[in-house]
């Protein structure tokens, strides 16, 4: 493996966003993943989402653990600081980073082994704390980087490439995220970019803990007959509950829809989550109903995707910490050090 700097050839006709950036400005190094790996599609979706949202690339902090999925932050947003930490511990590193500077956008990328196996604890606790972040698990049901062992999200009965059948119950990260209090929960599929890009956009504009489970087939180790995380299997069993559009600013409705078909959810920052319902009885603002629905459909063998839950007025870790508005990393000596006079008073109290 080696690093290949990507030539930046700006075509004069490339479309630009409100900041004057082209999509190229959101790209990173050339991927070293296998051709056809689902993870690369997710990187492309992240690039698209950041471009669409007119984000300044350097205001994003990209964090990850270890795995093929965790390598991807090198392959998008090359002008951002990135941090490939240790296996399963991205959430704690991201939490610390977020505490230090509340003004950046935190994008955590992880794998199913990274988050559901070794890092299940950190996954859970970062969501419980409501860290303001977009947390994406690129879920392929295996450990790609270590060559195809089952991960904890692998379905019971799913077949490994070498023929072994997985005997253990899978961990459903979406179900856990809902139960743990994540305030934005979605599931996508790397093979459906139209669905995934708005899910990521909505998550980035969400002011709390946003979690996306993105099924992302591993073409090298888990894309065969008998696997429940292959492209074919996921396409066949994918049941989207809604289609999302993220609209910034004013949101005129252009296409005609039947009554009750559309629902706008306005997030705290003014962004509008416009949902076209595919299942008329699905209410993505009802956490308990969402959990029940997911359990039911899972039992029926469906892979439910879409924006599954959103709390439009989320809280976050800084709110519960009651930290000052200025990022902690910008506080200076005067704000931090009480000084000699205060110390003399401390001394006096200790005699």
Partner 1 sequence: MVGTHAAADKRDERLRRQFANVNGSGSASANQLFAKSILRMGIPIASRNIFPSNIQGLPTWFEVRVSGEGHLGRRGGVDLMVAMNPQTWDRDVAEIDPGGYLFYDSTKPLPQSKFRADINVIGVPLTQMCNAAYTDSRQRQLFKNIIYVGALSALLQIEPKVIETLLTEQFKGKERLAKSNQDAFHMGRDWALANLECPIGLRLAPSDKVGDRIYVDGNSAAGLGAVYGGATVCAWYPITPSTSLAEGFERYCKRFRTEPETGRKRYAIVQAEDELASIGMVIGASWNGARAFTATSGPGISLMQEFVGLSYFAEIPSVIFDVQRAGPSTGMPTRTQQSDVLAAAYASHGDTKHLVLFPEDPRECFEMGAQAFDLADRFQQPVFVLLDLDIGMNDWLCEPFAWDDSRRMDRGKVMTAEELEAGQVFGRYLDADGDGVPYRTYPGTHPSKGAFFTRGTSRDRFAKYTEQGAAYVDNMQRLLRKFETAKAHVPRPVERPAAQPARAGVLYYGSSSAAMTEALAALEAEGVHLDALRIRAFPFHDDVLDFIARHDKVFVVEQNRDAQLRTLLMTEGGIDAARLVPILHYDGTPITARFIHAAIADKAPVLNVVPMRKAAP
Ligand X SMILES: Cc1ncc(C[n+]2csc(CCOP(=O)(O)OP(=O)(O)O)c2C)c(N)n1
Furthest CA-CA distance within the chain: 78
| Angle at 215 (CA atoms; ends 174, 314), nearest 5 degrees | 35
**Residue with Cβ nearer Mg ion (88 or 113):** 113
Choose one: 48-56, 109-117, 181-189, 300-308; the region binding Mg ion (CB under 5 A): 109-117
Q: Are 199 and 307 in contact (CB under 8 A)?
A: yes
Residue 176 binds which one of ligand X, Mg ion, partner 1, none, with CB within 5 to 8 A depending on kind?
A: none
Residue 119 engages Mg ion in binding (rule: CB under 5 A):
no
Residue 34 binds which one of ligand SF4, ligand X, Mg ion, none, with CB within 5 to 8 A depending on kind?
A: ligand SF4
Measured from each CB, the residue nearest to ligand SF4 is: 144
Of 134, 175, 149, 165, the closest CA to residue 46 belongs to 134
Choose, by CB under 5 A, the member of 25, 27, 52, 112 that binds Mg ion: 112
Least distance CB 270 / partner 1 (angstroms)? 23
Residue 347 engages partner 1 in binding (rule: CB under 8 A):
yes
Choose, by CB under 8 A, the member of 98, 132, 154, 230 that binds partner 1: 98
Residue 106 engages ligand X in binding (rule: CB under 6 A):
no
Q: Are 298 and 261 in contact (CB under 8 A)?
A: no
Choose, by CB under 6 A, the member of 95, 115, 140, 305 that binds ligand SF4: 140
Residue 144 engages ligand X in binding (rule: CB under 6 A):
yes
The rounded distance, in Å, linking the Cα atoms of 161 and 320 is 46
- Residue 234's contacts (CB-CB under 8 Å, 6 or more residues apart) are 189, 191, 215, 217, 303
The rounded distance, in Å, linking the Cα atoms of 292 and 76 is 36
Residue 1 binds which one of partner 1, ligand SF4, ligand X, none, with CB within 5 to 8 A depending on kind?
A: partner 1
**Residue with Cβ nearer ligand X (101 or 149):** 149
Choose, by CB under 8 A, the member of 14, 100, 253, 288 that binds partner 1: 100
Residue 113 engages ligand SF4 in binding (rule: CB under 6 A):
no
List the x/- string, 60-89, binding to partner 1 by CB under 8 A. -x-x---------xx---xxxxxxxxx--x
3 state DSSP class of 44: helix
- Residue 71's contacts (CB-CB under 8 Å, 6 or more residues apart) are 32, 33, 64, 84, 145
- Residue 149's contacts (CB-CB under 8 Å, 6 or more residues apart) are 142, 143
161: left (phi over 0), alpha (psi -120 to 50) or beta: alpha
List, as one string, the DSSP characters of 194-253.
HHHHHHHHHHHT-SSEEEEEEE---TTTS-STT-TTSHHHHHHHEEESEEEEEE-S----
Residue 146 engages partner 1 in binding (rule: CB under 8 A):
no
The rounded distance, in Å, linking the Cα atoms of 208 and 277 is 24
Least distance CB 41 / ligand SF4 (angstroms)? 10
129 alpha carbon, distance to own chain's centre:
16
Residue with tokens 């009554």: 259
List the x/- string, 34-53, binding to ligand SF4 by CB under 6 A. x--x-x--------------
Strands 149-150, 262-266: pairing kind: unpaired
Q: Which residues bind ligand X (CB under 6 A)?
A: 66-69, 87, 111-114, 138, 140, 142-146, 151
Q: Which residues bind Mg ion (CB under 5 A)?
A: 111-113, 140
Q: Which residues bind partner 1 (CB under 8 A)?
A: 1-3, 56-59, 61, 63, 73-74, 78-86, 89, 91-101, 103-104, 121-122, 124-125, 129, 318, 321-325, 328-329, 331, 333, 335-340, 342-343, 346-347, 350-351
Q: Which residues bind ligand SF4 (CB under 6 A)?
A: 33-34, 37, 39, 68, 140, 144-145, 218-221
């Amino acid at each position: 493996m080696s690093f290949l700097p990507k030539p930046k050839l700006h075509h004069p006709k490339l479309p630009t966003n409100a900041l004057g950036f082209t999509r190229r400005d959101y790209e990173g190094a050339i991927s070293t993943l296998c051709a056809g790996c689902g993870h690369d599609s997710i990187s492309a979706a992240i690039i698209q989402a950041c471009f669409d949202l007119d984000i300044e690339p350097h205001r994003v902090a990209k964090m990850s653990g270890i795995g093929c999925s965790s390598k991807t932050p090198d392959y998008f947003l090359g002008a951002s600081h990135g941090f490939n930490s240790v296996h399963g511990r991205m959430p704690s590193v991201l939490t610390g980073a977020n505490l230090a500077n509340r003004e950046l956008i935190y994008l955590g990328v992880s794998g199913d082994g990274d988050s559901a196996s070794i890092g299940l604890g950190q996954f859970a606790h970062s969501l419980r704390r409501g860290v303001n972040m977009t947390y994406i698990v690129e879920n392929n049901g295996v450990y790609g980087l270590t060559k195809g062992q089952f991960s904890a999200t692998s379905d019971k009965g799913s077949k490994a490439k070498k023929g072994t059948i997985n005997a253990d119950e899978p961990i459903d990260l979406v179900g856990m995220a809902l139960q743990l209090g994540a305030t934005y929960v979605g599931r996508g599929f790397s093979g459906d970019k139209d669905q995934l890009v708005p899910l990521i956009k909505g998550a980035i504009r969400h002011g709390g803990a946003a979690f996306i489970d993105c099924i992302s087939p591993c073409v090298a180790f888990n894309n065969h007959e008998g696997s429940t995380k292959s492209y074919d299997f996921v396409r066949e069993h994918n049941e989207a509950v809604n289609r999302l559009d993220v609209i910034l600013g004013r949101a005129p409705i252009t296409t005609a829809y039947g009554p009750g078909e559309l629902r706008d959810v306005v997030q705290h920052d003014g962004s509008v989550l416009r949902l076209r319902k595919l299942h008329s009885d699905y209410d993505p603002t009802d956490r308990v109903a969402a959990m029940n629905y997911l359990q039911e459909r899972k039992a029926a063998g469906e892979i439910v995707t879409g924006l599954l839950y959103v709390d439009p007025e989320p809280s976050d870790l800084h709110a519960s910490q009651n930290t000052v508005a200025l990022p902690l990393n910008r506080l200076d000596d005067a704000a931090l050090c009480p000084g000699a006079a205060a110390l003399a008073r401390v001394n006096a109290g200790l005699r």
